[in-house]
């Protein structure tokens, strides 16, 4: 049961092989007994999960079931969940019981999805290793001495360890794709504005986007279907029709033009990782796709621009955590300034404080043009590189990460080295483009991810391209050794 | 560009962050490293490039000025650190003469 995809579980629910209550109970028992090994969940919501599963079984009995009715998944602890602690991986929100549901949570609930619990993450989604969480690092199920990636590290690890059939994540600079790659699962970051950000605790509002983390592209299509769509409560959400993401999964790739950005195959890419990516490209060629080298000349500027824009927006967004209306408040404040300063000093961990300070500096008087405006100009150059590339090709491919998962602690003391682990993922966020990571083999027994980047609102094409690969290969079915399924 | 201890103290004050004395030197070093990384932006000429704030260059959507939310003050204040009579409590701001 624990190795089944959403699609397979849905078929079993339909045929009556088991009920959602039975399925959910089995996953809860598994998560409760094995979570301590990987620390993937911050909170397991047993009571609400069982109640929601029972309700889903009733919906099914009344003949109104959809493809997700009664399917249990895990939710990243960045999505506000009414009545449940929503910590965002931070001491600041350790006591925060969200008073409402995020739009993503509400939409998945409406589709009949059952939430098993809230997953561990880098504090306020700031990190690439899940080591900045107040709740401790998540361990990579493939090798527990390694990081699962981040910031959606818990969401990736619980799917890889089969403590949930699928999960939700968010991606500001690679936070869905990088952990999906390092944990050997499928992750999709949609086009900016495709999914509502309402109730999703903001890190960098012009970059943040939610998405599904699953075993297969087919499952990602099912979850995206339920998550996507216009929401008047998010002023940056794009009002565009949501296509049927499952309709074209099997479309032939004959004649598809794949662009390989030469900047994604240069210095810094591990040789064996490059081999895995080239092997994957050969699979596509065998399916009739054509390959073309392209250039994204401003790629090297993506990380520098990102580390102005993201911290600047973070310093503004996180000013709401002031110890007054919710969240952590320091003991015995002597005056209002003391209340603000100590509540924030105690509530935020070092990486969050660092980014708030970088952002505060970049936005301060005299530096705004040199940093923030400069970064926004570079952002346009980066977008234009992609617009030019998509004149020539249908989809871009390359590695999701320069190497496989690194050791816990290896990069923890050096923020700049840590930042470089997102070298291939950040540009898609700056441009607002959809991106995916799918398993493309093992390098020294650790998963390697193939990254796909599509044109604006071309999620259906990305899912088609990913699904066809998964029909030809078995990499997405690989699981860590020693998983007791 | 090197960030000094006094810069860290000033930035932390602007950001309303209480930082331990022992951490200031470490922050000065990592902030310097981050700003060095960010400084690579200056390698490219961006004259006459329009800054980009939104991937689709969308502008702020406006809506009718209508009441759409119900009053949930008690619900929202149930998670507040300190309230009284429907108000959020903070330390006294205005001293009595």
User: How much is the ipTM here?
Assistant: 0.95
In percent, the amount of chain A with pLDDT more than 90 equals 98
Main-chain phi, psi angles of A416, to 5 degrees = -65, -40
Residue B58 domain-assigned (yes or no): no
Residue B1 has pLDDT above 80, yes or no: no
Is B67 in CB contact (< 8 Å) with chain A?
Answer: no
This prediction has a pTM of 0.97
Residues of B in contact with A304 (CB under 8 A): 37-41
Q: Residues 343..372 of A with a Cβ closer than 8 Å to B: which?
A: 344-346, 348, 350, 353-354, 356-358, 360-362, 364, 371
Residue A448 has pLDDT above 70, yes or no: yes
User: Which residue of B lies nearest to A99 if distances are taken between CA atoms?
Assistant: B76
Out of B15, B51, B79, closest to residue A97 by CB: B79
| pLDDT score for B97 | 62
Q: Residues 189..208 of A with a Cβ closer than 8 Å to B: which?
A: 191-193, 206
Residues of A in contact with B43 (CB under 8 A): 301
Say if the Cβ atoms of B80 and A361 lie within 8 Å: no
Q: Residues 69..98 of A with a Cβ closer than 8 Å to B: which?
A: 95-97
Question: Domain count of chain B?
Answer: 1
Say if the Cβ atoms of B80 and A326 lie within 8 Å: yes
Residue A207 has pLDDT above 90, yes or no: yes
Q: How far apart are CA A305 and CA B56, in angstroms?
A: 18
Q: Quick one: pLDDT band at residue A128, thresholds 50, 70, 90?
A: very high
| pLDDT score for A132 | 97
Is A305 in CB contact (< 8 Å) with chain B?
Answer: yes
Q: Mean per-residue pLDDT for A10-39?
A: 98
Residue to mutate among B4, B18, B31, B73, with most A CBs inside 10 A, is: B18
Estimate the crossing angle of helix A20-38 against helix A153-160, to 10 degrees: 110
Residue B80 domain-assigned (yes or no): no
Residue B95 domain-assigned (yes or no): no
| pLDDT score for B95 | 73
Residue A83 has pLDDT above 80, yes or no: yes
| pLDDT score for A482 | 84
Residue A241 has pLDDT above 90, yes or no: yes
Least confident of A124-138, A218-232, B52-66: B52-66
Residues of A in contact with B40 (CB under 8 A): 300-301, 304
Specify the CATH number of the domain A1-485. 3.90.1300.10
| pLDDT score for B44 | 94
Out of A235, A350, A357, closest to residue B15 by CB: A357
Say how far residue A229 (Cα) sits from the centre of its chain.
Answer: 18
Q: Residues 228..267 of A with a Cβ closer than 8 Å to B: which?
A: 232, 235-236, 238
CATH number of the CATH domain containing B29 = 1.10.20
Closest approach of A145 to chain B, Cα-based (Å): 26
Structural domain of residue B38, as residue ranges? Answer: 5-42
Q: How far apart are CA B96 and CA B57, in angstroms?
A: 51
Please state whether the peptide bond connecting residue A151 to the residue before it is cis, i.e. omega within 30 degrees of 0: yes
User: Which residue of B lies nearest to A313 if distances are taken between CA atoms?
Assistant: B53
Is A341 in CB contact (< 8 Å) with chain B?
Answer: yes
Residues of B in contact with A84 (CB under 8 A): none
- Residues β-bridged to residue A200: A79
Out of B34, B54, B88, closest to residue A325 by CB: B88
pLDDT tens digits, one per residue of A259-317: 999 999 988 999 999 999 999 999 999 999 999 999 999 999 999 999 999 999 999 99
Say if the Cβ atoms of A323 and B91 lie within 8 Å: no
Q: What angle do CA B83, B89, B90 make, to 5 degrees?
A: 155
Residues of A in contact with B11 (CB under 8 A): 357, 360-361, 364
The token pair at B66 is 């209508």
Q: Are A229 and A190 in contact (CB under 8 A)?
A: no
Is B93 in CB contact (< 8 Å) with chain A?
Answer: yes
Residues of B in contact with A97 (CB under 8 A): 79
Residues of A in contact with B51 (CB under 8 A): 373, 376-377, 379-380
Q: Quick one: pLDDT band at residue B96, thresholds 50, 70, 90?
A: low
The token pair at A416 is 């700049």
User: Which residue of A lies nearest to B86 if distances are taken between CA atoms?
Assistant: A325
Q: Quick one: pLDDT band at residue A432, thresholds 50, 70, 90?
A: very high
Q: Give Cβ neighbours of residue A187 (< 8 Å, ≥ 6 apart).
A: A152, A156, A169, A171, A176, A177, A179, A180, A181, A211, A212, A213, A214, A220, A436, A437
Q: Give Cβ neighbours of residue A475 (< 8 Å, ≥ 6 apart).
A: A184, A438, A439, A440, A441, A442, A447
| pLDDT score for B55 | 85
Cβ-Cβ pairs closer than 8 A, A with B, add up to 168
| Alpha carbon distances (Å) from A364 to A206, A311, B17 | 19, 13, 15
Out of B14, B37, B52, closest to residue A379 by CB: B52
Out of A325, A356, A416, closest to residue B80 by CB: A325
Q: In which residue are the tokens 């509530």 written? A: A347
Q: What is the mean pLDDT of chain A?
A: 97
The DSSP code for A200 is: B
**Which residues of A are the active-site residues?**
76, 151, 175
């Amino acid at each position: 049961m624990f190795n089944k995809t959403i699609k397979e579980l849905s078929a079993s629910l339909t045929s009556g092989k088991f009920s959602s209550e039975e399925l959910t109970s089995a996953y809860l028992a598994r998560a409760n007994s094995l979570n301590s090994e990987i620390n993937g969940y911050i909170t397991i919501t047993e009571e609400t999960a069982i109640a929601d599963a029972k309700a889903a079984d009733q919906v099914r009995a009344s003949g109104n079931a959809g493809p997700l009715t009664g399917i249990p998944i895990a939710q990243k602890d960045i999505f506000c969940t009414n009545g449940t602690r929503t910590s965002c991986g931070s001491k600041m929100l350790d006591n925060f019981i969200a008073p409402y549901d995020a739009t993503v949570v509400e939409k998945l609930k409406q589709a009949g999805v059952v939430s098993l619990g809230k997953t561990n993450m880098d504090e306020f989604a700031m990190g690439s290793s899940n080591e900045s969480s107040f709740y401790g690092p998540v361990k990579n199920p493939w090798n527990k001495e390694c990081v699962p990636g981040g910031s959606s590290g818990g969401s990736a690890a619980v799917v890889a360890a089969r403590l949930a059939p699928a999960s939700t994540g968010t991606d500001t600079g690679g936070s869905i794709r990088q952990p999906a790659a390092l944990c050997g699962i499928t992750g999709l970051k949609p086009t900016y504005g495709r999914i509502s950000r309402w109730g999703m605790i903001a890190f960098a509002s012009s970059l943040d986007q939610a998405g599904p983390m699953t075993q297969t592209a087919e499952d990602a299509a099912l979850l995206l279907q339920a998550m996507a769509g216009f929401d008047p409560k998010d002023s940056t959400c794009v009002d565009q029709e949501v296509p049927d993401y499952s309709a074209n999964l099997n479309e032939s790739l004959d004649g598809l033009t794949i662009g390989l950005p030469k900047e994604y195959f240069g210095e810094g890419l591990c040789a064996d990782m490059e081999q895995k990516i080239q092997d994957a490209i050969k699979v596509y060629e065998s399916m009739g796709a054509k390959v073309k080298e392209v250039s994204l000349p401003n790629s090297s500027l993506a990380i520098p621009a990102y580390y102005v824009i993201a911290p600047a927006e973070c310093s503004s967004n996180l000013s709401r955590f002031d110890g007054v209306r919710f969240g952590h408040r320091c003991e015995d404040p002597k005056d209002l300034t003391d209340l603000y300063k100590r509540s924030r000093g105690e509530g935020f961990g070092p990486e969050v404080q660092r980014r708030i300070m970088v952002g505060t500096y970049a936005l301060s008087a005299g530096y705004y043009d040199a940093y923030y405006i400069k970064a926004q100009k570079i952002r346009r150059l980066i977008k234009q590189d992609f617009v030019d590339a998509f004149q020539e090709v249908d989809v871009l491919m390359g590695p999701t990460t320069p190497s496989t998962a690194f050791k816990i602690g290896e990069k923890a003391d050096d923020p700049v080295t840590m930042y470089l682990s997102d070298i291939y993922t950040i540009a898609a966020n700056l441009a607002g483009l959809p991106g995916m990571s799918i398993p493309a083999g093992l390098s020294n027994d650790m998963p390697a991810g193939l990254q796909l980047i599509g044109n604006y609102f071309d999620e259906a094409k990305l899912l088609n391209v990913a699904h066809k690969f998964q029909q030809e290969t078995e990499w997405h079915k690989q699981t860590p050794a020693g998983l007791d399924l | 560009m090197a960030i000094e201890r006094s810069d860290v103290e000033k930035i932390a004050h602007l950001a309303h962050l209480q930082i331990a004395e022992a951490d200031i030197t470490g922050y000065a070093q990592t902030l310097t490293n981050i700003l060095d990384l960010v400084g690579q932006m200056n390698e490219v000429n961006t004259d006459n490039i329009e800054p980009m704030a939104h991937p689709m260059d969308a502008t702020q959507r406006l809506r009718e000025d209508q009441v759409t939310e119900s009053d949930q003050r008690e619900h929202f204040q149930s998670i507040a650190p300190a309230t009284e009579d429907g108000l959020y409590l903070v330390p006294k701001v205005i001293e009595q003469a």
